[in-house]
Structure 1
């Protein structure tokens, strides 16, 4: 399984890493999980529907972050990625904190995968 990051995702990661120091390490743990099971697994993650694109876009809504102690996987951090099953590739699209933004940026998804 290969992993790629869109430029906007890299900006998201850089911005949030300043506030949450362990975020890069926490993302590496998420990558280990996705290598084994990249498909959507409610309630951990779910597929974002209604986009009208071929790739499977998934939102991880339960991502643990050690910088937010005592909250476990209910940190409020969200990761959006596209899974290309045939190519065995995952492209990270967006990373955000739920307290600052309610939903994923559908325009960003469509801009890069449509």
Structure 2
């Protein structure tokens, strides 16, 4: 079942690393909201080693999109490149 809760961020993906955004994130502390909590998690996934690095967590009500500068800095510090538009 694909409920569209995990989406790749295409401009930051290549063969060695994939950057994803988790949109539907349930939180027990936010009772009654279920997966519509507004919490977003950005993480890097390394398919060859199955390693996951968390890059950012934010609340959609305070910030509309992920921090592209933070993602670029993460990729720069980890020796990876990205495809800008």
TM alignment of 1:51-62, pairs within 5 A: 51=12, 54-62=16-24
Residue 96 of structure 1 corresponds to which residue in structure 2?
58
Could you tell me how far apart the structure 1 residues matched to 2:61 and 2:37 are? 10
| 1:63 shift after superposition | 0.5
Q: 1:50 is paired with a residue of what secondary structure?
A: helix
1:1-114 equivalent positions in 2, closer than 5 A: 42-51=3-12, 54-114=16-76
Higher RCO structure, 1 or 2 (CA under 8 Å, sep 6+): 1
RMSD over aligned Cα atoms: 1.5
TM-score of the superposed pair, with normalisation by structure 1: 0.60
Unaligned runs of 5+ in 1: 1-40
Distance 2:54 2:10 in 1: 17
Q: TM-score, normalised by structure 2?
A: 0.79
Preserved contact between residue 21 and residue 40 of structure 2 (Cα < 8 Å): yes
